[in-house]
Amino acid sequence: MVMVECDIVDLMLHVLECLRWMAGVSVLSVDADTYSPQVLFKAIASIKLQITDGECWNEASFHEAMTKAVHDATSSSSSCATPLVVAA
């Protein structure tokens, strides 16, 4: 789990776009929410996946794709972005 500053919608779109091109993976559900525990405004997102073809599944490629999605979302984020907790 890491904390990054980015727009949650932008991040989810980047992640879903990466998943779209991965063989052997189906998205079962997507959940994202924002909350404010004190002064900081935070968001958390989770994506539930189903590995449909174990022979095509490559965990290293998955981690690389998710890292790229987070990097792309954070490098293009605006200054008013919400900190997001990302768990791989």
Torsion on CA atoms 38, 30, 7, 3, rounded to nearest 10: 60
What average pLDDT does the structure give for the chain? 78
Q: pTM value?
A: 0.69
Residues above pLDDT 70, as percent of the chain: 78
4-39 tens-digit pLDDT: 677 788 888 888 988 888 888 899 999 888 877 776
- pLDDT at position 48 over 90: yes
Average of pLDDT values for 67-80? Answer: 70
Residue found by looking up tokens 């200054």 in the block: 79
Contact 74, 6 (CB under 8 A): yes
Residue found by looking up tokens 């590995």 in the block: 51
